[in-house]
Amino acid sequence: MLLTRFAHFFGMCLWLGGMVAAMVIAVAARSESVSSRVSLFHLLGRVYSFVIGPGAILTLLSGVALTMSMGQATGGGTGSLGTWVMQATGLLAGGLVLFAGLPTATKLARVADMVDENGPPPIFDRLRKRLAAVAHAVAVLAVLSLYFGTVVR
């Protein structure tokens, strides 16, 4: 149980820390030259692949394990409203990261290679905007999950 909690908190640190780093990289890319922007979007893809994705997976798996052990410890009890909201928002945020954010970031990194003297292809801006929208939604859900898991719980 203690190791599972550690894995859950460690996964959250990776996930949320990686999201903050990704947001800083995305904002910094706006004021850079085209060649630097390509490098930054490659870096953004790596942050999603090596930090955010594994952090989300670790958080979700350990969260499921904690939920299962909570049911065993309480004799099948369902937990408080704060716990339910934390679980629902965490699962939704994790699903968004794994099934929308991660594929979009890796595709954006691949499309960044297609940037030439004419600028990026049209799909580049669509992917960039989609990734920004997913990141904002995940950030809101993560804050709600943390709030309900700590304050309301």
Domain ranges of the chain: 2-152
- Are the CB atoms for 79 and 143 separated by under 8 Å? no
Q: Would you call 116 helix, strand, or coil by DSSP?
A: strand
Q: How confident is the model at residue 34 (pLDDT cuts 50, 70, 90)?
A: confident
Crossing angle, helix 2-29 and helix 34-47, to 10 degrees?
Answer: 170
pLDDT averaged over the chain?
90
Say what the pTM is.
0.89
- Residue 67 clears pLDDT 80, i.e. is over it: yes
